[in-house]
């Protein structure tokens, strides 16, 4: 079990509201079709570019919740550095809400910026835990429009 924390540390409090570096995502036809198939969508606008165009879209439409794959650069610094030290080493996904704003299409390139919006200590069946709430904003590079937001909860114990 990790050591009990009487309160959030100053470093934890300072991390709240601080946006991370942007991550670039590419939305490809293959990714759209794979995601659509994996979640069981049947609408042709997710699989057939001609059907998407016939429905008035510029290209294959990305299903709700699919924002592409992060662009991997083997020469870039690895991952995001932790903003603070924590005694809680076990992590769980506590859920993610997806809020679409604009349609996303094959060929779009998005920048995603994640901000830690809340941290709190609580008690659960396994003892004390740290609950993180983060928001990620996805912006299309070609026109600067925000296309979606996600809000996620992480549990560390």
d(CA 118, CA 137): 16
**In sequence order, which ranges of the chain are alpha helices (DSSP H)?**
10-15, 29-39, 49-54
* pLDDT recorded at residue 105: 98
Backbone angles phi, psi at 55, to 5 degrees: -85, 5
Q: Which domains does the chain have, with CATH numbers?
A: 10-72+87-156 (3.10.129.10)
Enumerate the β-bridge partners of residue 19: 115
Tell me, yes or no, if the pTM score tops 0.85: yes
- pLDDT, one tens digit per residue, over 24-64 is 999 999 999 999 999 999 999 999 999 999 999 999 999 99
Q: Would you give per-residue pLDDT tens digits along the chain (157 residues)? A: 566 788 999 999 999 999 999 999 999 999 999 999 999 999 999 999 999 999 999 999 999 999 999 999 888 776 666 789 999 999 999 999 999 999 999 999 999 999 999 999 999 888 899 999 999 999 999 999 999 999 999 999 9
* pLDDT recorded at residue 29: 98
* pLDDT recorded at residue 108: 98
Going by C-alpha positions, the residue among 100, 20, 99, 112 that lies closest to residue 69 is 112
């Amino acid at each position: 079990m990790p050591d009990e924390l009487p309160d959030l540390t100053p470093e934890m409090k300072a991390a709240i509201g601080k946006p991370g570096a942007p991550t670039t995502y590419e939305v490809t036809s293959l990714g759209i079709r794979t995601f659509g198939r994996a979640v069981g969508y049947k609408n042709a606008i997710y699989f057939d570019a001609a059907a998407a165009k016939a429905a008035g879209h510029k290209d294959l439409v990305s299903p709700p919740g699919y924002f592409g794959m992060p662009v991997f650069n083997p020469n870039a610094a690895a991952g995001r550095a932790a903003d603070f030290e924590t005694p809680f080493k076990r992590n769980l996904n506590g859920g993610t809400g997806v809020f679409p704003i604009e349609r996303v299409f094959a060929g779009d390139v998005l920048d995603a910026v994640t901000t830690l919006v809340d941290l709190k200590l609580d008690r659960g069946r396994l003892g004390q835990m740290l609950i993180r709430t983060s928001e990620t904003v996805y912006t299309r590079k070609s026109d600067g429009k925000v296309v979606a937001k996600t809000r996620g909860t992480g549990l560390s114990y």
